[in-house]
A and B are shown apart, each in its own frame.
Chain A
Amino acid sequence: MKAGIKIALLFSLTSSLLLASEQFAMSDADRAMYAEMLENNPAEMDLEAGSEYFDEYCNGEAGLANFLGVKEEKLPEYISGFPRYVEKLKMVAGLDQVMQALMSENGHKPFKLKSGDMFGMLGYVKSLANDLPISINVDANKHMKEAYVLGKEVFETKRGGRGLSCLSCHNDAVKGAILRTQPLPDLGENVAGGTWPAYRMTKSSLRTLQRRFQGCMNNALLAVIPIGSKEMNALEVYVTNMSKGKEIAIPGLKR
């Protein structure tokens, strides 16, 4: 493309991005209204159902603490460090996968990872760590170290129809820029690792972080990675670590 046309194209694009950001910048008053909605989050009903499943199929906190080999009073803190390398599963895993194993152990057919029932149960269990800081430790052992490296690779690898990676839209240079009417979020500042599972308003349902990753991949024309797979867990480790130290607040409320 001729240099003149390239410059003209760049100018029109950046100016349209700027105009967009002025036009659609959310006012403080509007922002406050959305923050207020957290007080009554429909996901609370999913979590209530999840707590009932948790008690029935996993024997509640006692059952989970026992499975993980931690004292019950230390369970919330332990939960705040997930995803972790779980010895019993011989892999870096999420709490949903831990609960699948626990459900099996207790003689129940485990919920599918990508099911509303599991999302609710995961939301409930993760909410036990509310107000605690995200304490994931990517240096805990060689498995976590490997997961972090793999997660970073998944985050940064360009693939798919548009040659995009997660990093293409989630990086310091473009954070806050408006794409398709929404500001691009910084996943660390957004506390992605501590505000999912969340109620998604555009889906009117509770969703998990990995499920959200899938939605994003789908829209960016990247092949979707299965929930609970090695790569997806690694990606969750990498993204969760971005908000290490920030407070957990589940269920979240998202667009």
Chain B
Amino acid sequence: MGKVKSLIKIKPKKFKNGEIVKVSFMVMHPMETGMRKDKKTKKIVPADYVKSLKFDYNGKTITTMNVWESVSTNPVFTTYMKVDGKGKLTVTFTDSKGNVNEKSKKIKPKG
């Protein structure tokens, strides 16, 4: 299986330790509901969607999410995170077919 394209974005780009920053995770995923008929084959496209996310920061799970097929294709999820030291933020995402992928971003507070 090819690598699934995803992105982690932090806003603002420059932040201090202790600051609460916005974290957005986006992933290229069809988020098929299992109810859509393919125009060419006329067959129902089976369900295929991201179903859970786990946010780990410096080894600790700080946030988890459950996602269902009603979320838009190529979904974007945004929440907040308190910056607590230099480290790594890893988002692990699982889809309805059981595929597990992860994306990481270095967290480098300035000051």
Contact = CB atoms under 8 A, between A and B. Distances in A.
Interface of A: 39-40, 42, 44-46, 48-49, 199, 204
Contact of B74 (A39, A45, A48): A45
Contacts, number: 28
B7 A204 contact: no
Q: How large is the interface on B (under 10, 10 to 19, 20 to 34, 35 or more residues)?
A: 10 to 19
A49 B5 contact: yes
B5 A204 contact: no
Interface of B: 5-7, 9, 11, 24, 26-28, 72-74, 76, 78
Nearest to B74: A42
B5 A40 contact: no
A40 B74 contact: no
A40 B78 contact: yes
Interface of B is mostly: strand
B9 A40 contact: yes
Contacts of A39: 11, 24
A40 B24 contact: yes
Contact of B76 (A42, A46, A204): A42
Given A40-B78, A45-B26, A48-B5, 11 more contacts: A39-B11, A40-B9, A42-B26, A44-B7, A45-B5, A45-B7, A45-B27, A45-B74, A49-B5, A204-B72, A204-B73
A40 B6 contact: no
12 contacts: A39-B11, A39-B24, A40-B9, A40-B24, A40-B26, A42-B26, A45-B6, A45-B26, A46-B28, A49-B5, A204-B73, A204-B74
